[in-house]
Amino acid sequence: MKKSLISFLLIMSSLAVIALSTRAAFLDTGKVSGATFSVGTADIKLLNDLSLAPDSANLLDEKEGPRFNNLYPGWVSDYPIKLFNNSTFRVGLSSKSDYATADDPGSLREYINVDFYEWDDVDGDGILELGELGEVPLIRKTILKWKSEGVGLGELSAGEEKGYVLRFSSESLPESKMGQNAIYDFEFTVSTDGVGQEGI
């Protein structure tokens, strides 16, 4: 009986080893190796020549601003600009003015307005023409509020070019402002905060 028990145990052990060997023969592993992660870049550019394509030779980080002379009550002047999202992803676009108080001693910033319009340069000639400007401005701010509050201008997809017209005006200028001068910068900033990245 003892021999039978030993034989039985040997047979069962052999079967277990065979079963495990057979099971191991049908296991397989798939592996993903060398996964690479690269961080994208946020980069907004200004087109130098508005009639040309947004290639590297025509893209700037900074350009000289316009000069507006002889302002008066009721004065209006348009400044067209094109921006290019050179980022690797969709971004939110915003703008603000920047200045030192010393560059605006007469506080003209309180009297000069800017209206932001979307500009669809249909023929791509870089010249603002009838029918290319949005019917209503996206927003209106004084230079002062443009600095303190900023302006949201929507989103741009990677590689997207967008035209805007900044319409500067002064509805009323008191006599005390005659002969005053001011210098302002205006900036455009891109950010991924709150921007949906699906379908980039």
Q: Tell me, what CATH number does 114's domain have? A: 2.60.120
pTM over 0.85: no
What is the per-residue pLDDT for 142? 97
In a domain, 85, yes or no: yes
Secondary structure (3-state) at 83 = strand
Show Cβ contacts of residue 141 under 8 Å, excluding neighbours closer than 6 positions. 113, 114, 149, 151
In a domain, 95, yes or no: yes
In a domain, 32, yes or no: no
The β-bridge partners of 168 are: 77, 114
In a domain, 39, yes or no: no
Torsion angle, alpha carbons of 13, 16, 22, 23, to 10: -150
In a domain, 100, yes or no: yes
In a domain, 19, yes or no: no
Which residue, chain included where needed, has tokens 């915003």?
94
> What is the full per-residue pLDDT of the chain (200 aa) written as tens digits?
666 656 665 666 666 656 555 555 677 778 787 776 778 889 999 999 999 999 999 999 999 999 999 999 999 999 999 999 999 999 999 999 999 999 999 999 999 999 999 999 999 999 999 999 988 999 999 999 999 999 999 999 999 999 999 999 999 999 999 999 999 999 999 998 766 554 44
What is the per-residue pLDDT for 200? 42
Q: Domains in the chain: how many in total?
A: 1
In a domain, 28, yes or no: no
Domain of residue 111, residue span: 50-191
